[in-house]
Structure 1
Amino acid sequence: MKKSRAILESNLIQVLDQTELRKFKDKVEDISDKLLANHDMTNVQGIFNNPEERIPELDIRELMLFCEQVYFKTGVDVIEPEEFFHQSEIDDARQFSEHTQSIDQTTEYPIVIENVSVLGNSAYQIVLDIKDINKLLNSGILYYDPELQRETTMVKRQNIVIKQPTIVMKNVEEIAKHMIEGTLVPTNLVLNAMPRTATHGDELIFDAKKRTLTITNGTKIAIVDGMHRITGGQNALTVDPELSFNFSIILTNYNKKRAQQYQAQLAKATPISKVRIQELEANRLSDTVVQILKEESELKGRISSKSRPFIEHGELVAYSVLSDTIDEEFDLQKRIDAEDVGEYLTDFFNYLIGKNEEEFITNAQKVNKDSLINSNVMFIGYIALARVMFEKGIKARKIGSFLEQIDFSRSNPIWKEIKLLDEKGRVDNKIYNSDKVKKSLKEIFESINFDGDKVEI
């Protein structure tokens, strides 16, 4: 493959979701009929019904064929087959029949690994050859999970926004070259057997006497650290299919939050954005609140892991702004406090964004040129307002009448008075480290009249 299977799977799942292709019955039936008639592929409908589970299970040739048909129907270029498959792979896939499928390029369960060392509770040291890693990828057992990666890149094509792993192709090519020449320095990859993915029982079974580790039926393994090296290895195999290179691997069996925390420890040794490290660590109760917002509120998909959100990609607020301000504003002593605040803020932002869809969603970029209503910094004020409303027992749906009291236009002189904007009307990035400016902004929102009389600010 030119680009990794993991990237293709992630892109394909997101394209199916964002184009809502599965809702077009005639297109789905056409794809199903063609793949059944030409390649004996059965239950294609099942792929549309549950792409997150079924796509990783596809044989590499089935994946190419399914991807090709979806690309024909959507035209979204992040899944263009020629970006991922060499012509020889495309030709091979087009000769595929489910009845004559070979498993030479794939791996079947159970997977038994020998000479395993125990590193700690649910953590093991193993060794796998790059060809075995490639088979795990082709089998859909090993996959890319954006939530566990150090950095992801937002790619926008034809109004579809896709999360991809941040891959520096120069580094990938250099890794492939070193692997082919036998000069690649051995380093640890980190993989995680995801809990509750095994068909029955535990995902990993360790035999202390034999020092073997069994990966049980159904277990899915996520890439935590090593995306560049794995992609480089795949590229090297296209040059020399018989290439042999052993990777030392730390294989864990952690839940997603603990795997993210492990990635955060790795991140401190390798420079990545501080915001992403904070997001992965999630060691404050305010982080628990933000996780709730990421999963359940209108902010889902709109919280940036960078220090500044990309409004052109649909992002509205930085993770650090939310987490830090929630930590400052709310008295969170126990997890139940975080759950209560998370539930309230979910309603709060649902009403805020839902009642102002044009400003926050449909026309956000244009609005931002003249107004601060959807600016990253304004979320400091929104959370301060939410905290007051929460303490006063005011329902979140009342937010609309309160916000009418604030003039969000960039021409409002108060923004320059408190030094939120510079002389050219731009948000001064220094304010994120200025307690004085943030305090002034919060006071504006806290001075809203909650008794019903409109007071212009």
Structure 2
Amino acid sequence: MSEYVFRNVSQIGEREYQTVIDGQELAQMWRDGIITYNPEIQRGTKVKVGKDNSEVEVAVFSKANVKKIYTSMLSGQYFTDMITLNILEDGSEKIELDDEGNLTVDGEINIADGQHRIRALAMILEGNEKGNLAFDLTELKFPVKITHYDVQTAQQQFHQFSQGLKISSSRAEYFNQTGLANIVVRELMKNSDLAGRVEVVRNSIPKNDERHIVTFATLVNAIQLVYEDLETRVQAIELSKYLAEFFNELINLIPELHNYEKRAQSKETSLVGENFMFYGYVAISRLIRDKENWKEYLPLINELDLLKSSKVWYGEVIKGGKEKGYTIVNTIDSRKTFVNKIAKMFNKLLNERTA
């Protein structure tokens, strides 16, 4: 951590401050690492493979958006708007606002809203220093809101920002701290074998993704759809405890869920290892939840007709065919159809087993 002093600051709330900073200072703060990107309160990270095949986690942002802002600034067409910085509350930070309006910060300062704008400013600064540009960044004056929040509160703030941004529903849902289904999924990510297997940035699982088996948004949507009577936080915590056990058993039972090679091969013809299949898995979890020895019924999943070529799914859930490849129809209607059909098929197997 390094100490930084913001000038001409006014306090606008218990943990909120406001000032004006020009583009030159913001660009220098970013370049010097005074303002940093914290994936926990922003768009997350993605894995980039280098020339030596090494994997590096990098920030998620749109190069195209940065370029558009860069061009707009250089052409004099850019209208400055508010940037939000957050002083991370983690117990080690120190902040002090004196009578002169100087806010002294010794702590981690993260970009909360304005990542693309700051990157564009940094590009111009670099161009100026290399002699390729001669743009006066001090002419751009930005109103800056400075907050002092912990990670959870900063995530909630970004959730509000994200309502008007083009980010994935998985990332938007990840920042929603209050939804009951979100609480359940966050607990599963901490206390079950789903830890490290839930994609929180994208809405889908890329073919070459060896780690993730389901997206945050899919799990949230599935729980909301199947457990529609979830009403309190206490119920959410209780459900998360059961689902943690359920998914631990499920991941151990289904090879596709713990073996990337088998999952990649299976996806060519089967729904078993697909992200979409978690709507079915959550539906099954509800069917057996109240059964005394529910674990003994889980293997019935292996008896379900989950082939993509099956007539059961064609049209409503699956499109395409062997030659051009199968496509999963992922809509509200198709999810409901899938959940209902999986429940009906599994119920039939349950009745046959217990008859």
The residue number in structure 1 matching 2:144 is 249
1:350 aligned to which of 245, 248, 268? 248
* Contact 1:204–1:253 (8 Å) recurs in 2: no
> Aligned pair in 2 of structure 1 residues 349, 238: CA closer, same or farther (>3 Å)?
same
> Aligned pair in 2 of structure 1 residues 146, 123: CA closer, same or farther (>3 Å)?
same
Task: Kindly state the Cα deviation for residue 143 of structure 1 after the two structures are TM-superposed.
Answer: 1.8
* Contact 2:95–2:103 (8 Å) recurs in 1: yes
* Contact 1:294–1:303 (8 Å) recurs in 2: no
> Aligned pair in 2 of structure 1 residues 405, 138: CA closer, same or farther (>3 Å)?
same
The residue number in structure 2 matching 1:267 is 162
Task: Kindly state the Cα deviation for residue 374 of structure 1 after the two structures are TM-superposed.
Answer: 1.0
Please give the per-residue CA displacement for 1:210-256, whole angstroms capped at 9, x wherever unaligned. 333231x3x21222221111111222112224853443221112232
> Aligned pair in 2 of structure 1 residues 125, 371: CA closer, same or farther (>3 Å)?
same
* Contact 1:348–1:399 (8 Å) recurs in 2: no
* Contact 1:304–1:310 (8 Å) recurs in 2: no
Please give the per-residue CA displacement for 1:94-136, whole angstroms capped at 9, x wherever unaligned. xxxxxxxxxxxxxx42x33232233334222123344443454
Does residue 1:189 correspond to 2:83, yes or no?
Answer: yes
Amino acid at match of 1:386: S
The residue number in structure 1 matching 2:132 is none
The residue number in structure 2 matching 1:320 is 217
Please give the per-residue CA displacement for 1:65-90, whole angstroms capped at 9, x wherever unaligned. xxxxxxxxxxxxxxxxxxxxxxxxxx
Does residue 1:146 correspond to 2:39, yes or no?
Answer: yes
Q: Give the TM-score normalised by structure 1.
A: 0.64
* Contact 1:197–1:220 (8 Å) recurs in 2: no
1:228 aligned to which of 107, 110, 116? 116
Q: Which has the larger helix fraction?
A: 1
Partners of 2:214 and 2:345 in 1: CA distance: 19
> Aligned pair in 2 of structure 1 residues 247, 275: CA closer, same or farther (>3 Å)?
same
The residue number in structure 2 matching 1:336 is 234
Does residue 1:120 correspond to 2:18, yes or no?
Answer: no
> Aligned pair in 2 of structure 1 residues 185, 408: CA closer, same or farther (>3 Å)?
same
Task: Kindly state the Cα deviation for residue 428 of structure 1 after the two structures are TM-superposed.
Answer: 4.2
Amino acid at match of 1:187: D
* Contact 1:114–1:213 (8 Å) recurs in 2: yes
Partners of 1:365 and 1:159 in 2: CA distance: 21
Partners of 2:54 and 2:349 in 1: CA distance: 38
1:294 aligned to which of 189, 195, 217? 189
Partners of 1:239 and 1:159 in 2: CA distance: 30
* Contact 1:352–1:399 (8 Å) recurs in 2: no
* Contact 1:155–1:164 (8 Å) recurs in 2: no
Partners of 1:118 and 1:437 in 2: CA distance: 52
Task: Kindly state the Cα deviation for residue 309 of structure 1 after the two structures are TM-superposed.
Answer: 2.9
Amino acid at match of 2:66: V
Unaligned runs of 5+ in 2: 130-135
The residue number in structure 2 matching 1:433 is 333
Q: Give the 3-state SS of the residue equivalent to 2:208 in structure 1.
A: helix
Partners of 2:111 and 2:167 in 1: CA distance: 17
Amino acid at match of 1:288: I
The residue number in structure 2 matching 1:308 is 204
* Contact 2:253–2:299 (8 Å) recurs in 1: no
Does residue 1:204 correspond to 2:98, yes or no?
Answer: no
The residue number in structure 2 matching 1:445 is 346
> Aligned pair in 2 of structure 1 residues 177, 448: CA closer, same or farther (>3 Å)?
same
The residue number in structure 2 matching 1:213 is 103
Partners of 1:125 and 1:213 in 2: CA distance: 10
The residue number in structure 2 matching 1:283 is 178
Partners of 1:226 and 1:338 in 2: CA distance: 34
Partners of 2:278 and 2:122 in 1: CA distance: 43
> Aligned pair in 2 of structure 1 residues 347, 311: CA closer, same or farther (>3 Å)?
farther
User: Percent same amino acid among aligned pairs?
Assistant: 25
Unaligned runs of 5+ in 1: 1-56, 58-107
Q: Give the 3-state SS of the residue equivalent to 1:214 in structure 2.
A: strand
Partners of 1:441 and 1:161 in 2: CA distance: 39
Q: Give the 3-state SS of the residue equivalent to 1:312 in structure 2.
A: coil
Amino acid at match of 1:146: P
Amino acid at match of 1:313: D
Task: Kindly state the Cα deviation for residue 369 of structure 1 after the two structures are TM-superposed.
Answer: 0.3
Q: Which has the larger strand fraction?
A: 2
> Aligned pair in 2 of structure 1 residues 154, 401: CA closer, same or farther (>3 Å)?
same
> Aligned pair in 2 of structure 1 residues 419, 246: CA closer, same or farther (>3 Å)?
closer
Task: Kindly state the Cα deviation for residue 278 of structure 1 after the two structures are TM-superposed.
Answer: 3.2
* Contact 1:289–1:342 (8 Å) recurs in 2: yes
Q: Give the 3-state SS of the residue equivalent to 2:205 in structure 1.
A: coil
1:172 aligned to which of 66, 80, 101? 66
Please give the per-residue CA displacement for 1:7-38, whole angstroms capped at 9, x wherever unaligned. xxxxxxxxxxxxxxxxxxxxxxxxxxxxxxxx
Q: Give the TM-score normalised by structure 2.
A: 0.80
> Aligned pair in 2 of structure 1 residues 444, 113: CA closer, same or farther (>3 Å)?
same
Q: Give the 3-state SS of the residue equivalent to 2:275 in structure 1.
A: coil
- Listed as ranges, the matches of 1:1-16 within 5 Å are none
Q: Give the 3-state SS of the residue equivalent to 1:373 in structure 2.
A: coil
Please give the per-residue CA displacement for 1:246-296, whole angstroms capped at 9, x wherever unaligned. 432211122323222222222223344444333323431111111222334
Please give the per-residue CA displacement for 1:270-325, whole angstroms capped at 9, x wherever unaligned. 34444433332343111111122233433324335444332432433232321122
